[in-house]
Amino acid sequence: MSGLLRIRWAIAPKIAPRPLINCNRCGGVRPYRCSGKFRVNANGKRIDAWLIYRCVDCDNSWNRTILERRSRRDIAPALLASLENNDPALVRCHAFDAPALRTWIGRVEEFPDVAVQKQVLDGSMENTMVELQLWLETTTCLRLDRLLAREFGISRLRLQTWEERRLLVVAPDGARALRKPARTGTAIRIDLVGEPDRDIVISAAGG
């Protein structure tokens, strides 16, 4: 049976990136983990907000600037309330934003661990042509080929062979995208008609 099975992979990184900071209490470079808490200074007309990080070894704190000397009237009351209440969704939004973190601290430790939620959009599990559509909650350092190999339970060499035989096509950016971090908007099309274990691969793709 031919036809296309379209599946959406929603990918959520599991461990927030950790800035590597010269800890003055430890006397050396240490990773700092996100504490999950904001500190807000909302006295008067100007508002400052920081996300607090703590040294993994000695608990020393580092304040990452989120808002700096911002006029109170420029800040939505809902945002201020979220900051003051350590809204977990807002914490997560900042904590997992590795590019923004890197603007404050040059060296950042990133983790490739992700949770993948798979949802069949259309088509049937009988189809032998699969299209995966990626959506990422935040950026990840996890390479696309590692993600696919892990989720399918196959080797990266096999993925490479598929790509060379044009059985696997990545858009945009083609084969280069396989060796780069997985990104939102990437679509991977795989023709599994000739694969003896396609049922296993398809069922892994669909979750």
Which of 21, 51, 55, 148 binds Zn ion (CB under 5 A)? It is 55
Assess 23 for contact with Zn ion (CB under 5 A): yes
Closest listed residue to residue 161, CA positions, set 194, 128, 205: 194
Report the distance separating Cα 103 and Cα 100, nearest Å.
5
Among 3, 28, 45, 58, binds Zn ion (CB under 5 A): 58
Instruction: Tokens 């989120």: give the residue.
Output: 66
Q: Nearer to Zn ion by C-beta: 27 or 44?
A: 27
Cα–Cα distance, 183 to 148 (Å, whole number):
13
Q: Whose Cβ is closer to Zn ion: residue 57's or residue 199's? A: 57
When binding is defined by CB under 5 A, the residue of 12, 15, 26, 40 that contacts Zn ion is 26
Residue 169, phi then psi, degrees to nearest 5: -125, 130
Whether the Cβ atoms of residue 178 and residue 159 lie closer than 8 Å to each other? yes
d(CA 200, CA 202): 6
Q: Which stretch binds Zn ion (CB under 5 A): 50-58, 64-72, 76-84, 90-98?
A: 50-58
Question: Which stretch in 30-38, 107-115, 151-159, 165-173 sits in contact with Zn ion by CB under 5 A?
Answer: 30-38
In the set 4, 39, 60, 158, which binds Zn ion (CB under 5 A)? 60
Q: Round to whole Å and give the CA distance between 130 and 7.
A: 8
Which region, judged by CB under 5 A, interacts with Zn ion, from 26-34, 43-51, 152-160, 178-186? 26-34
Q: Where along the sequence are the contacts to Zn ion (CB under 5 A)?
A: 23, 25-26, 30, 55, 57-58, 60
